[in-house]
Structure 1
Amino acid sequence: MPVLPNIGAVRGAFFAITLLLSAAASADTCPEVDREALEWLDRMSRSVHEVSYHGVVTYQRGDMDMQVMQVSHSVTGDTSSERLTQLTGQGAQIVRPEHPLDCVHPGHKLLRLSNQIDGGYCGVAAQYRFQVTDGERVAGRKAVRVLISPRDMYRYGYAMDLDRKTGLLLKTTTLGRGNRVLEQFQFAEISYNKRVPEGVDINVVHEAEHPAPGAVQQPARLPQGWRLGWLPQGFVATASEPANAGRKTFTDGLAVFSVFVEVLDREIRPGEGLVREGSTTSYSRGLSLTGSPLLITVVGEVPVNTARMVADSVRWVR
């Protein structure tokens, strides 16, 4: 990562903390299911919203420069507030004020399945294998480690260290093929209280978008509806976007990616472009559908081949 990272890297860390923090459950009939792992991950998905905590985290993508950030999460009544501040680089800050505790987004609904463990539904256990091991001490806290490995080639694996007392995620590592570390964040220090740390000098403040679950957003509109002819098993849309929305987002509960479709005013040379930073892939492809020149872009935490197959599957709705 360059010394002055783009704000997308900061947003990625923010949502890694707020979205990628829980896992599913399954029935005894699901293959190779570690029920203890599922119970720990269910606890983790709740603690990240219900516990007040403040700390400093380090965030690194591959061999790029490490970033240091201050994270604050405060629970008051039936709402929570979050703040993520860069302590290095451009000094950007992302805030999300007054988030309702009972607001459960689609990604979390995929994962909060503790009441369905014995109901015959495998959840993300159909896409991932889980295992519990002893974790290392993180930020002075004893931890339990949950290992998450994909059952197919279309997603990444994870190693997550959870606080044994609170269930809060203290460290997460995203793993590619051959267990290669793609990115990692972890708390360097953490405290559990409602006292908000003193502010630091910042240059840019962004307020995180918070659409209500199921609400239709207002991205660019296309003259015609489109769909994906292929999705990796387990991925679902995160919102009820209209068919002609210029952007649609999908999640399997752990990984998230977005597809952008842009109609061009002239033909472009067929080809593809690729940028990878840690676990984030940005894949673009120019193509023509029924005479319409398009630019398709897939951005998210998925392998390159997954992004390529998703982009190639874009079809007009007839």
Structure 2
Amino acid sequence: MKSTLHFLLLVYLALIPYAWAGDQGIDLLKKMNHAVNSVNYDGIFLHIDGKHIHTLRVIHKIKNGTVRERLYSLNGVPREVIRDPEKVWCILPEKKMGHAGLRPDKKTGFPGFMVKNLAELANNYIISTEGVDRIADRAVNRMQILPRDGLRYGYELWADQDTGLLLKSALIDNAGDVIEQYMFTLIKIGGDIPDSALLPRMNKNTLEWHNSKKPPVNMPVKDSKWQFSVLPKGYRLVNIIQQSIPMESKQIEHMILSDGLAGVSVFIEKTSNPTPEIGFVQMGAVHSYTRVIDDYLITTIGEVPAVAVKVIGDALIRKH
């Protein structure tokens, strides 16, 4: 169960950005959305999650309209993520193993803060600009996005004044406390990046790959045997994917929900385990909630408050 949950978390994180009213705030969000798929950069950033501090480097290149990227850890356990035009490669060098999956969006990368629906954002969040600041020795504009209810987190964002690139983001809980943040400490924006800089340290052919046996495919909503009785205000179903778990033949159904900013995934898998592990698990800012319906295991995962994953998970029902 734990290995399956880790895989589901990996899938969830691969589909969402790494992060985290008024015309001025909306214009800044548009500029941030544009920067991640139009600007080359090479930088070092901190990921602060509770008591844990991780230092990572990201090399980000735009080529033929597609984001290509290499992200790797500089402290702790070595890890690498490579985004090429077709796939996302997750590599653990010490274990000489990795996982590769099809890339859902070729125009996103780190640091992404892709708002799906700017027009509806103000229905669920209060957006305000908060003046200027300095991050990684660059002038930035600061903004705040606070939720209108307890079913989503808030954000503080610091965007580069020249390019709009997001240089710092903080995830804020309902008490106003920072629960996770990313911040660049050194960054070079612009200039040419050689293709060789995007290659992993280890030859891919020397690794043991734990990949899904079948590629994921989109499923029409009408073909699913599942539906939601009611969803929290602002959340809606945006996609359904069928995919397999690495090294296993069974298929799982993956429902993707969003309020335009926060994302939640619901995974549905057939189980023969008479006593599966159910309940809540917290992994940093991400909460997961598992329940059983008949002989199906339902796992809801999101970078949202625990109450939100429970409400969404409990709303899933079988179609009659």
**Partner amino acid for 1:195?**
I
Select the residue among 179, 188, 191 that pairs with 1:191: 188
Aligned to 1:235: 235
Picking from 77, 83, 98, the partner of 1:96 is 83
The equivalent residue for 1:216 is 217
Q: Which amino acid aligns with 1:95?
A: I
Q: Which residue of 2 aligns with 1:298?
A: 300
State the alpha-carbon separation in 1 of the partners of residues 59 and 84 from structure 2.
11
In structure 2, the residue matched to 1:226 is 226
**Distance in 1 (alpha carbons) for counterparts of 2:72 and 2:107:** 24
The 8 Å contact of residues 171 and 181 in structure 2, kept in 1 or not, is answered as yes
Change (3 A) 1:268 1:298: same
Q: CA distance change for structure 1 residues 145 and 74 in 2, over 3 Å: closer, same or farther?
A: same
What is the one-letter code of the residue matched to 1:302?
V
Give the Cα separation in 2 of the matches to 1:199 and 1:293: 43
What TM-score results when the alignment is normalised by the length of structure 1? 0.74
Whose strand fraction is larger, Structure 1's or Structure 2's?
A: 2
2:44 maps to 56
1:281 counterpart residue number: 287
Task: Give matches, 1:24-39, under 5 Å.
Answer: 33-39=21-27
Q: 1:281 to 1:240 in 2, by over 3 A?
A: closer
**CA RMSD, Structure 1 to Structure 2 (Å):** 3.7
Residue correspondence of structure 1 range 301-312 to structure 2 within 5 A: 301-312=303-314
User: Is the Cα contact below 8 Å between 2:67 and 2:85 reproduced in 1?
Assistant: yes
- Which aligned pairs between 1:1-318 and structure 2 lie closer than 5 A? 12=13, 15-17=16-18, 20=19, 33-63=21-51, 65-98=52-85, 108=114, 110-111=116-117, 113=118, 122-192=119-189, 193-196=191-194, 201=201, 216-217=217-218, 225-241=225-241, 246-265=253-272, 267-268=274-275, 272-286=278-292, 288=293, 292-318=294-320
TM superposition shift of 1:314? 1.4
- Work out the number of aligned pairs and report it: 274
- Partner residue, 2:95: none
Distance 1:161 1:9, change over 3 A: farther
Distance 2:291 2:151 in 1: 19
1:147: how far off? 0.2
**What's the offset of the Cα at 1:229?**
1.7
1:117-174 Cα offsets, whole Å, 9 max, x none, are: xxxxx41111111000124311111111110000111100000000011100000000
State the Cα distance separating 1:103 from its structure 2 match: 5.9
Counterpart of 1:29 in structure 2 is none
1:79 Cα shift?
A: 2.4
Given that 1:11 and 1:94 are in contact with CA atoms closer than 8 Å, whether structure 2 keeps it comes out as: no
Q: CA deviation at 1:66?
A: 0.6
Q: 1:197-240 CA deviation, whole Å, 9 max, x = no partner?
A: 5878569989999xxxxx8348xxxx971112232223233424
Distance between the aligned counterparts of 2:145 and 2:295, measured in 1? Answer: 40
Q: Percent sequence identity over matched residues?
A: 27
Q: Normalising to structure 2: TM-score of the pair?
A: 0.73
Segments of structure 1 that go 5 or more residues without pairing to the other structure are: 1-5, 22-32, 114-121, 210-214
For residues 9 and 314 of structure 1, do their structure 2 counterparts lie closer, same or farther at Cα, with a shift above 3 Å needed?
closer
Aligned AA for 1:282? S
Using the alignment, how far apart are the partners of 2:166 and 2:41 within structure 1?
A: 11
Cα distance in structure 2, aligned partners of 1:90 and 1:66? 12
Once the 2 structures are TM-superposed, how far is the Cα of residue 9 of structure 1 from its aligned partner? 7.7
